[in-house]
C-alpha cells in the first residue's frame, strides 16, 4: 500500500501540465502518432493514419516508429514524416529523439500504449504536445485519466477490437465514415521473386496455404510436434494445395524439422521472406493463412484472407483478432500454446474453405 501511495504521488508530481488550453480543432496542423514498437501494431495503426488524413487532408501526420516497423509505412501516402525512435536510456533519449520531437511543436500527440509506465509517460510528457490524447489506464490506485499531462483519455475497451479505442481517442475530432481496414504500400517493389515462386507452385498445385508456427515469444509459439501434426492433417485433407511453412529469421532449422516431420510432399518451406514486405507479397498470393497472434495475422487481414489464428488467453484475442471477413480463432485454455490440436485446426480450416474436389485417378 505504501509503495502504491508513493508511486501515485510521484505520478501526480511529475506527470501534470499547468498550461492547458481548450482544443481548437481549426488550428491543428501537426499531429504525431506514437508507434515505436512492433510490426503488427503498426499494421493495425494504418487504418487510423488513413482515416485521420481523409478527414483532415491539410494535417501533417508524422509517426514515431521503431526500426523494426518503419518499413510498414515507408511508402504510406498519408504519413508526412517518420521519426525512428528505438529504445535507449532515458538521458540519451532526452538529448536525441525527445529533443528533436519537442522542437517540432506538435499540436496533437496520440499515445496508443495501454499501460501505465512512469518512464514511458515521462518521455511522452516531455514531447510537449499542446493536446495529448490516449487511454485511461488504472494503476497505483489512480489512472492516467487523472494525470494532468493528458487532455483527453478514453477507456481501452477490453471487449472490442483495439481500433475502436483508437478512434474513440479522437472522438472530439468528429471523424466521419470510418473505415477500419488495414492497408499496405510498397509491396510490389519486393514481390518479384515471391510472385515467380508462387506462379511456379501454382503450375502444379490448386492453391497455396501460408503456415506460421513461430510466435513473438515462447508462450505464443506452436511446438514442433504439434506443428508437424497440423501440417500432416492439412496436407492429407488438401493434397492439391502447397502448404508453405514460413521461417522467421533464426527459425530455419526449426522449420526444416517441421517440414521433414510432416511426412507429405505438399508441405514445404516457403520462398525466402527476409523483408516484411516480401512476407506480405507471399501472403497476398495465398488462399489461407494460419498463425499465432503475430504480424502474420495482421498482414493477412490487410488482404482480407481467410485466417486461422492461435491465441493465448490474454486481452489480445479481443483487441487484436483478425480484421478479415472470414476467420476462426483457436483460443488456448491458458497463457501458452503448449498444446495445439491438429483436429481443431483442421475443423477451423474446413469451416473457412469449400470442400476440395476429389483427386482424379488415372486409368
SS3 per-residue string spanning 269-305: ECCCCCCHHHHHHHHCCCCEEEEECCHHHHHHHHCCC
- Let me know if residue 12 belongs to a domain: yes
Cα distance between residue 297 and residue 361, in whole Å: 37
167, 192: one domain: no
85, 231: one domain: no
Dihedral sign for Cα 236, 194, 75, 303, please. negative
- Let me know if residue 230 belongs to a domain: yes
Cα dihedral: 94, 77, 306, 359 (round 10):
-130
Query: Could you tell me the three cell numbers for 58?
Result: 491539410
- Let me know if residue 180 belongs to a domain: no
158, 246: one domain: no
Query: Could you tell me the three cell numbers for 199?
Result: 506462379
- Let me know if residue 99 belongs to a domain: yes
194, 314: one domain: yes
Non-local CB neighbours of 316 within 8 Å, separated by 6+ positions? 293
104, 206: one domain: no
pLDDT tens string, the chain, 363 residues long: the values are 555 555 554 554 556 666 667 889 999 999 999 999 999 999 999 999 999 999 999 999 999 999 999 999 999 999 999 999 999 999 999 999 999 999 999 999 999 999 888 899 999 999 999 999 999 988 777 888 888 889 999 999 888 999 999 999 999 999 999 999 999 999 999 999 999 999 999 999 999 999 999 999 999 999 999 999 999 999 999 999 999 999 988 899 999 999 999 999 999 999 999 999 999 999 999 999 999 999 999 999 999 999 999 999 988 888 899 999 999 999 999 999 999 999 999 999 999 998 776 655 444
107, 221: one domain: no
Torsional class of 186: left (φ above 0), alpha (ψ -120 to 50), beta (otherwise)? left
- Let me know if residue 116 belongs to a domain: yes
Nearest CA to 315 out of 165, 193, 173 is that of: 165
163, 194: one domain: no
- What residues make up the domain containing 241? 188-352
pLDDT at residue 249 in the model: 86
- Let me know if residue 357 belongs to a domain: no
Helix (H) or strand (E) holding 139: strand 138-139
Nearest CA to 155 out of 132, 135, 173, 134 is that of: 135
Q: What is the CATH number of the domain that holds 323?
A: 3.40.50.2000
pTM of the model as a whole: 0.93
Number of domains the chain contains: 2
- Let me know if residue 8 belongs to a domain: yes
Cα distance between residue 79 and residue 135, in whole Å: 23
Amino acid at each position: 500500500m505504501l509503495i502504491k501511495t508513493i508511486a501515485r504521488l510521484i505520478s501526480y508530481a511529475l506527470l501534470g501540465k499547468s498550461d492547458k488550453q481548450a482544443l481548437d480543432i481549426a488550428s491543428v496542423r501537426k499531429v504525431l502518432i506514437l508507434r515505436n514498437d512492433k510490426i503488427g501494431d503498426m499494421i493495425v495503426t494504418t487504418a487510423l493514419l488513413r482515416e485521420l488524413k481523409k478527414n483532415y487532408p491539410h494535417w501533417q501526420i508524422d509517426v514515431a516508429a521503431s526500426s523494426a516497423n518503419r518499413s510498414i509505412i515507408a511508402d504510406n501516402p498519408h504519413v508526412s514524416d517518420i521519426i525512428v525512435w528505438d529504445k535507449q536510456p532515458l538521458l540519451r533519449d532526452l538529448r536525441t529523439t525527445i529533443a528533436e520531437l519537442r522542437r517540432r511543436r506538435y499540436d496533437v500527440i496520440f499515445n496508443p500504449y495501454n499501460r501505465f509506465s512512469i518512464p514511458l509517460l515521462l518521455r511522452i510528457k516531455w514531447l510537449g504536445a499542446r493536446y495529448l490524447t490516449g487511454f485511461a489506464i488504472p494503476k497505483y490506485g489512480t489512472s492516467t485519466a487523472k494525470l494532468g499531462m493528458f487532455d483527453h483519455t478514453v477507456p481501452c475497451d477490453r471487449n472490442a477490437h483495439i481500433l475502436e479505442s483508437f478512434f474513440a481517442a479522437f472522438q472530439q475530432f468528429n471523424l466521419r465514415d470510418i473505415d477500419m481496414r488495414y492497408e499496405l504500400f510498397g509491396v510490389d517493389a519486393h514481390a518479384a521473386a515471391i510472385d515467380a515462386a508462387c506462379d511456379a507452385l501454382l503450375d502444379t498445385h490448386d492453391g497455396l496455404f501460408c503456415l506460421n508456427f513461430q510466435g513473438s515469444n515462447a508462450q505464443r509459439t506452436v511446438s514442433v510436434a504439434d506443428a508437424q501434426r497440423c501440417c500432416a492433417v492439412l496436407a492429407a485433407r488438401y493434397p492439391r494445395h502447397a502448404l508453405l511453412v514460413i521461417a522467421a529469421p533464426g527459425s530455419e532449422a526449426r522449420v526444416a524439422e517441421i517440414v521433414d516431420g510432416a511426412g507429405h510432399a505438399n508441405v514445404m518451406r516457403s520462398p525466402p521472406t527476409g523483408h516484411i514486405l516480401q512476407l506480405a507479397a507471399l501472403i497476398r498470393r495465398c488462399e489461407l493463412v494460419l498463425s499465432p497472434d503475430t504480424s502474420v495475422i495482421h498482414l493477412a487481414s490487410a488482404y482480407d484472407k481467410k485466417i486461422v489464428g492461435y491465441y493465448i488467453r490474454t486481452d489480445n484475442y479481443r483487441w487484436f483478432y483478425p480484421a478479415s471477413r472470414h476467420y476462426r480463432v483457436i483460443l488456448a485454455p491458458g497463457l501458452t500454446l503448449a498444446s495445439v490440436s491438429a483436429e481443431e485446426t483442421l475443423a477451423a480450416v474446413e469451416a473457412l474453405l469449400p470442400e476440395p474436389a476429389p483427386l482424379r485417378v488415372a486409368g
